[in-house]
Amino acid sequence: MTSEGAAPAAADPLTAADELLAADDIAGLIRHLRADGDAVPLPDFVRLLREAARGMGFDAMAEAASRVLDAVDDREARAAALYDFGFECIEHGIAFLAIRVLREAAELEPGVIQIRTELAAACERAWQHLDAMAALRGFQGELPWLARYQLAFNALLAGEVAVAQEEFAALPEPDGQDRDDLLPLREKVRAMLVRAAAVAVTDGALASKDLRGWQFALTGGVLLTVSPYGYDAGMTGRWAMVGDSYGACVETLRRLGVVLANRGLSPRTVSLLPDRDSQIMGLAAAKYFDLPAVPFAPERTDTLIVAYDLNETEPDVLAALRNRVPGQILFERATDWTDPPLAAADAIGFLRQMVREPWGSALRVVDGEVTETDADARPAEEIAAELVAAEPYADEGDGETPPDPDSVLEAFVTAVADNWLAGRREYIGSPGPVPSSRFL
């Protein structure tokens, strides 16, 4: 099975899709359907995904697709089959391909709210938040609690704060047997609205390119640095691919120190997470701030928890990090904005899609040939000592990004101070209303 290369040259999208399927290039087929799937007739669209599911061993998805293809003349059965198939697509990580079939199901059965909530869920996971709102607003009837929550949540992710406020006001505190499950959802939206109100008085004021403001409103994390490249060419402060450096790491520690000093925060320890990259970054932070380094313990207070990439952290540690302990500050050097971690960091070094850590393997061009060097195998303590000894380096970029000196960062932290380091460290699976270009 291959995953590289573009769709074969073909006369039409359907032929190209069939050629990819015949070549067993499932990843290429999914990319092709993501880009051109709407030009493929729906029965063929479902057939192609059924065969891909069979090839991957996804039996329930394949069976649901077969039910769609069999239910041609029975409207109710076809809508149910489309719903089941869309659900399976979402479960297998291709929510962007579930949207089309769930829209078809909603057209067949416009009065079934479960179809619309599943369609909204697919749109949400595909970052199509305005479409998620439209799916729910198209329902003729009173929205149930979960649907109204979805509407408020997606309104925030779409940047529609006023709509979110209106829908939240109509979202009562849940009661009954589902209260314990639903109350955290309501609290998540409430906290986001409170943070959005705090950001609204800052210079960016939640404008369409206010990356730091929206990052805080949605996750509660303070973005320490923004990308100085391609700001007006699609990146708006985020990175696509980064080759990290020791100097850039130290600069982020310096900016973190600016924030801590601004808020008068003095952690007593640096907590080390188990993965090697975080161990290196944590040991460097301990040296930089002249604090003792200790193993991470979920109950430890007054500590700076340091991660390089939280997606490399063990699941049980991430689960513990979601529950805030007084005095804990979670810092992540390189946050993946296209696949956010399950616990949002309190302070974020930068937002990127892909990163090569300074001590990791690297690509080099030698005599015109690309080679890959080995990762630095020295003990974490030695690498951390070299890192912290480096000079802070702030890339000046292409000169098109708005200035972001320490004073701008300090003013932002001052404005949101009452709402920083408060509430759960939630998972927010969307970049929100500030778009950035990315690799698919």
Whether the predicted pLDDT of 171 surpasses 50: yes
- The residues facing 352 across adjacent strands are 336
**Cα–Cα distances in Å, from 38 out to 8, 23, 50, 78, 335?**
18, 22, 17, 19, 33
Specify whether the CB–CB gap between 320 and 273 falls below 8 A.
no
Is the separation of the CB atoms in 433 and 161 below 8 Å? no
Cβ atoms < 10 Å from Cβ of 57: 8
Using CA atoms, how far apart are residues 27 and 59, in angstroms rounded to an integer? 18
Q: How far, in Å, CA of 57 to CA of 414, rounded?
A: 53
- Concatenated DSSP letters of 6-25: PPPP-SSHHHHHHHHHHTT-
pLDDT digits (tens, 9 = 90+) for 294-339: 999 999 999 999 999 999 999 999 999 999 999 999 999 999 999 9
Count of other CB atoms within 10 angstroms of residue 404: 18
Q: How far is CA 153 from the centre of its chain?
A: 15
The pLDDT value given to residue 23: 97
**The whole model's pTM is what?**
0.93
Domain extents in the chain: 13-172, 200-419
3-state secondary structure of 307: strand
pLDDT of residue 364: 67
Domain 13-172, CATH number (from 3.40.50.300, 3.40.50.1970, 1.10.600.10, 1.25.40.10): 1.25.40.10
- Residues 251/392, Cβ–Cβ less than 8 Å: yes
Evaluate whether 13-172 and 200-419 have a shared fold: no
Burial of 97: CB neighbours in 10 Å, binned 0-12, 13-18, 19+:
buried
Look up the CATH number of domain 200-419. 3.40.50
Q: What is the mean pLDDT of residues 420-424?
A: 95
DSSP string, 72-98: SS-HHHHHHHHHHHHHHHHHTT-HHHH
What is the distance between the alpha carbons of residues 355 and 360, in angstroms, rounded to a whole number? 10
Mean pLDDT in residue range 132-161:
97
Residue 319: count of CB within 10 angstroms of its CB: 12
Q: Is the pLDDT of residue 275 over 80?
A: yes
